[in-house]
Structure formats: C-alpha cells, structure tokens
Amino acid sequence: MEQTYYLGIDIGTYSSKGVLVDTYGEIIAQHSIAHELSVPHEGFAEHDAMQVWWGEFQAICRELISLSGIDAEQIKAVGHSAMSPCLVCADEQGKPLHAAILYGIDTRASEQQQQMYQLLGQDNIYQLSGGLLSSQSVVPKMLWVKQHMPKVWNQTHYLFSASGFITYQLTNHYCLDCYDAIAYSGIYNCHSNSWDLDSCQRLGINKPLPQLHWATEIVGKVTEDAARATGLKVGTPVLTGCADAGAEALSAGVMANGDTMLMYGSSTFFITRTPYRISSPIFWSNCFLEPDTYVVTGGTATCGSLLTWYLNQFGSQAKLDSKLHHTNPHAELMKKFEHSAPGANGLICLPYFSGERTPILDSDAKGMLFGLTLGHTDADIYRSVVEGIAMSITHNIRALGLECEVKRLLAVGGGVNNHHLLQSVSDFAQVEQSVSDRSVGASYGNCMMAAVCCGQFECLDDAVSHWVKFEQNFKANPPIVELERNYEIYLHLYQANRELMHGLSS
C-alpha cells in the first residue's frame, strides 16, 4: 500500500512555516520563509495578503513537495492556519483592496470600540458574544475601514480572516472556523454559533459574512488555478483553516480539561481547555476546534516583538557577533541575561509597548522602564525586558486561575528557544512548564487536524495522545525575594499611571 502524507502550513507574523508528515506523525520535510511586519503608522500592523500570505503559501507547498520527493497525489489533505484575528477586505474576485490589518498588535480601532459600546451596549455585547472588545477584536476594525477608507468599503465583497483568505485562494470557498469567530464580538452569537444579523444592521455592516465551519471539516478541494500555483494535485481536500493558536495548542499537547497552552510568539497567547463554556469579563471563552469542546483564551500584546524591538534599537553588537559566530542574534542577546542578577537590579519593564490585551484589555496602555539609575547596565535593561514579559504572563496565569482550573502549562512557539524567558515565567508564576519534542508548532497541529478529517483518528485528543511527546521541563526555583518585590511594583505601575497613559494617547 502506497504511503500517504498530510501537509500543514501556518502563516505567522514574522514567518510562514510548513511541514509534511506521514501517517505516523513523523516529519518528512519542513520549510519556512521569513517576512517583515509593516508598521506604517503608530498603532498599525499590516501585511500584504497576496504577497506574504498567499505568495509564501504557494512557495512552501512547492518546496515541501520538492524536498520530500513525493508525488503530490500522495498528499491526503491540506491543513492550514494563520495569525488571528486579522482582516482584509476583498472585491468580488477575492482580490485584496488594502493592506491586511493584523490582530491585537494593531490598535488603530480603539475609537470604534467605544462606538460599538454606544450602539450596542457593553452588556449586550458580552451577553451575545461571551467577551468584551479589545484591540484583538475584528468588528471595530471593519468599522475603521468603513469610516477611514470608504472607497475600499464600497468595493468590499469579502471580509477575510488570514486563514479564510488562504482557504478561498485554494478552494473558492468563503468561510471561517467556529473557534476564530469569538474575535467577532458584537456580531457573533456564541450560544447559537451564528451571525447576529440585527447587530450587523445596527452597525452598518452590510457585507456577506463567511460561513462558519469546524476546523476539522473539509470545506473544499484544490482548484485548477490553485494547483498550478502550489504544485498540489487538483481535488486535494482542504480543511477550513483556523487560528494559529488553536493549531499550536494541538502541537503543544493540549487534550484534557485544565491543559493550558502558552504560545510564545511575537505576542503571547494561551488556551485552556474547559469542560464547558465559562463566563469571563476578562478572557475570551468559546468553543474549540471540534463540537462539544470548549476553551478560555487570552494573551499579551508583546513578547517576541518586544525582544525584536530591543535587538533593533540596542543590539548592534549582538548582530555583529551573530555574523561572526554564525549564530542567531537573539542567541547572542541571551548571553546578556546572565550578567544581571534576578530582578535586574531593581529595574522593572512594563511591556505594554503595543497596548495590552488580557487581563487589562487596554489598547492605550504604554510601556515603561521604571527604576533606571546611572548604575544600570545594558544587561540589566535586557533582563528587565525579559522579566517584564514574564510578569505579564504571570499576571494572566494568576487571573486565569480565578476563572478556571489550570492543571498543566504547555509551552510552544519560537520563544521556547529562549530558555531564560521560560525559566523566568516559571520562577515568577511558580509553575512548571513542559515543551513537546517537536517545535514546528501550528503547522504540525494542522497535520493532526488533517489526520482526523481523513479518519485516521476519531478525534483530536486521540491524535494528540499518539503524536505528541515531551522532552523539556522548566521547574520553578524557590521564590526569589527580588522577583516577588518587582512583581508587586509591576502590578501597581499600570494602575498608578493609567490616566497619564491615556492622556498621551488622546
């Protein structure tokens, strides 16, 4: 019997990654492509959807087929995911009409959030969609396009998410996965898993909305045009597509209630499995990737993006050393961490450089370096940035523990390569973290979903139990006085300066 394979691709903030696996979950080939994030104005974060999303999807498909040496006919199904939630408006041919607006790191629509509260009512939005608005929300960004780019809005026929855009290019099917829909607070009814047309009318969103499907559904097949572009076989089954965090949770090992994935990317995102839909004013509660599965989610606005900011502003020597030693510049930066004591000698970083998502839900929050003296070194500053990220994650973990049970913390994403960051999180939060033996992330989770769609496994939990093993554990060190002190100050810094931060934004 001829061997068959599953293909999974994930489109991320700074790179796109793909993997080809066999029916045993073994990786046959993998490939990635780096790209840039466009920040044309303060608070904006954009991609070219056609060039970055679809262009790199095509290139990765072709490269995986070439590297593996297999025939495209042997690929049983294609699963894919992307950073979420994003928005790109497209015309009737599916052609993008503007630069794609990214997820919570794009904070341009704070004014439209307030407009929605006035039009629909904060309590009504919460009751309908199970969550409040934040910079993560898609609908305020729709209103921003309508108000600031009326010509684009008038030509708009499709309102694509990033994964939805890929699905359309592959199959001509216009859809969104149910898990992603929670980001459409205000027009998504989380109780009936449907669009609320009355809210759409009141907001003036008079465009066709995507069909909602489970992430583990096959929604279409590769068209002739897509086959020519990607090298895939015409008729290859294609899954709905989903948010990168959902697929990443599978690769991290999430399969039981209380399992919590912590995704270290350009931002952080976490997903906790729950036995039922919980009600939370802080976090986002929703169905998961299959019927009768539920999660509560949240995330910070910065993580890797803040470390990249530090590298670009202060890491010229690290960049030079990386060229000399043929290493990653972030690996060179990590050496600084060891030249500063825990607590960064009293220096505290408030990492709200792109506002903040959970648990404060404030797109106007600002970053800070508090406690600077002439005695501080660049190593202290770097350590304070790492520890600031760790404190923001700890803030979420402790707030999450008040909403639901957190049994296991499973780390995944590019940030797991920064052992200092993971150890800092464990030390601040006093929790143990486990890392799976395969660090390819969401693209691997997409292959799991493809395997379920094709009937190899009964459900996703079954796929995870067969394919995911763990290789690293980060245990918490005994409580450190300097870290506990800094965390208490960290919590007070935002509250004491909130009004001043908002004054700067206004």
Query: What confidence score (pLDDT) does residue 437 get?
Result: 82
Instruction: Judge contact between 54 and 140, C-beta under 8 A.
Output: no
Query: What confidence score (pLDDT) does residue 121 get?
Result: 95
Query: What confidence score (pLDDT) does residue 7 get?
Result: 98
Query: What confidence score (pLDDT) does residue 286 get?
Result: 85
95 belongs to a structural domain: no
Query: What confidence score (pLDDT) does residue 125 get?
Result: 93
Query: What confidence score (pLDDT) does residue 247 get?
Result: 94
Query: What confidence score (pLDDT) does residue 440 get?
Result: 80
Concatenating the DSSP letter of every residue in 371-431 gives S--TT--HHHHHHHHHHHHHHHHHHHHHHHHTTS---EEEEESGGGG-HHHHHHHHHHHT-
Strands 294-300 and 218-221, sheet pairing: unpaired
24 belongs to a structural domain: no
485 belongs to a structural domain: yes
311 belongs to a structural domain: yes
408 belongs to a structural domain: no
Counted domains in the chain? 1
In this structure, what CATH number is given to the domain that contains residue 308? Answer: 3.30.420.40
Query: What confidence score (pLDDT) does residue 414 get?
Result: 84
CA atoms within 13 A on the CB side of 309: 16
What distance in Å separates the CA atoms of residue 448 and residue 239, rounded to the nearest whole number?
A: 11
Query: What confidence score (pLDDT) does residue 39 get?
Result: 92
User: What's phi and psi for 435, nearest 5 deg?
Assistant: -125, 130
Query: In a 3-state reduction of DSSP, which class is residue 98?
Result: coil
Instruction: Judge contact between 238 and 151, C-beta under 8 A.
Output: no
Query: In a 3-state reduction of DSSP, which class is residue 91?
Result: coil
Q: Fill in the DSSP letter of residue 458.
A: S
281 belongs to a structural domain: no
For the chain, residues with pLDDT lower than 50 are none
Query: What confidence score (pLDDT) does residue 130 get?
Result: 81
Integer-rounded Cα Rg, in Å, for the chain is 22
The boundaries of the domain holding residue 384 are 304-388+481-505
Query: What confidence score (pLDDT) does residue 131 get?
Result: 78
Query: What confidence score (pLDDT) does residue 62 get?
Result: 98
Query: pLDDT by residue (tens digit) across 144-201?
Result: 999 999 999 999 999 999 999 999 999 999 999 999 998 999 999 998 999 999 999 9
User: What's phi and psi for 79, nearest 5 deg?
Assistant: -110, 150
Query: pLDDT by residue (tens digit) across 369-397?
Result: 999 999 999 999 999 999 999 999 999 99
Query: What confidence score (pLDDT) does residue 284 get?
Result: 84
460 belongs to a structural domain: no
Query: What confidence score (pLDDT) does residue 380 get?
Result: 97
Query: What confidence score (pLDDT) does residue 90 get?
Result: 98
152 belongs to a structural domain: no
